[in-house]
Amino acid sequence: MSAQVLAGVDIVALRLNEQAELELLLIRREQAPFAGEWALPGVLVNGRCADNDLDAAATRALAEKARIRPCYLEQVATVGNAVRDPRGWSLSTFYLALLQPGTAGQGEDLRFVALEDVRAGRCALPFDHAQLVVQAAERLAGKSVYTSLPLYLLTPRFSVTEALAAFQACLGQAVQHTTLRGRLEKMKQSGWIVDTGEKNYPKMGRPQNLLQHNPGASMLYVFDRNVLS
């Protein structure tokens, strides 16, 4: 067992699939421990790395391992103990990353799995990665109650129906269509999102107006009321 403490960054990267279900990005490990197993993308950080800070290391983890740039990246927590890694004492600062629909990355050694399969224990992960996934998903659900965070799972232009699906996927429960529409209207009035003047034309149903995040607005819009109320 090494006397050196290993420090790293791990990423819980999520996307919405065509069924509006959350999927988790996994990378096949090349080296021991757990070589050949599917795990969260991550990198070690030490004095030999060029990262200026942990955020830079998190960005590097996705760029190097999957050629992916997230729409949103947030530090969740740091965990550390003597048993999470068989090599000895280790620390991991883990992040929540949100990806656009259709994000696939590059390489044969990556795949997306259903988030619910990991949370329910049907898809086992090495180290303590399953626990990190659960904590990151809880952070996403908690912030989705009172912020615009789920909108970062959508394409740059989105409809109210697509926004509703994203919120429901993050929260794991139904949201009233009228409630969310009211929140989006307030976001439009504040300039956080704008109406593009364009419509999409689904195979079934009426054409829907397309909204877009204002690039000059802050990262997150905070609602004045709980989106579930």
Question: pLDDT, tens digit, for every residue of 48-64?
Answer: 888 999 999 999 999 99
CATH of span 145-213: 1.10.10.10
Q: Is the pLDDT of residue 171 over 80?
A: yes
- Mean pLDDT along residues 196-224: 88
Q: Is the pLDDT of residue 162 over 90?
A: yes
Amino acid at 126: P
Looking at residue 173, what is its pLDDT?
96
Looking at residue 34, what is its pLDDT?
97
- Mean pLDDT along residues 58-80: 95
- H runs (alpha helix) in the chain: 54-66, 115-119, 129-144, 160-171, 177-190
Strand extents, DSSP E, the chain: 6-16, 22-28, 38-39, 42-44, 72-81, 90-98, 110-114, 157-158, 193-200, 208-213
Give percent above pLDDT 90 in the chain.
Answer: 85
Q: Is the pLDDT of residue 220 over 50?
A: yes
Q: Cα–Cα distance between 113 and 84 in angstroms, integer?
A: 22
Looking at residue 78, what is its pLDDT?
98
pTM of the full predicted structure? 0.95
Same fold across 6-143 and 145-213: no
Q: Cα–Cα distance between 5 and 142 in angstroms, integer?
A: 32
Secondary structure letter of residue 173 according to DSSP: S
CB atoms within 10 A of CB 216: 7
Looking at residue 215, what is its pLDDT?
85
| Domain extent listing, the chain | 6-143, 145-213
Where residue 2 falls among pLDDT bands split at 50, 70, 90? low
Q: Is the pLDDT of residue 15 over 70?
A: yes
Where residue 1 falls among pLDDT bands split at 50, 70, 90? very low
CATH of span 6-143: 3.90.79.10
Q: What is the three-class DSSP state of 97? A: strand
Looking at residue 47, what is its pLDDT?
79
184's CB contacts (< 8 A; 6+ apart) are 160, 163, 193, 211
Where residue 104 falls among pLDDT bands split at 50, 70, 90? confident
179's CB contacts (< 8 A; 6+ apart) are 227, 228, 229
Q: Cα–Cα distance between 161 and 197 in angstroms, integer?
A: 16
Looking at residue 50, what is its pLDDT?
85
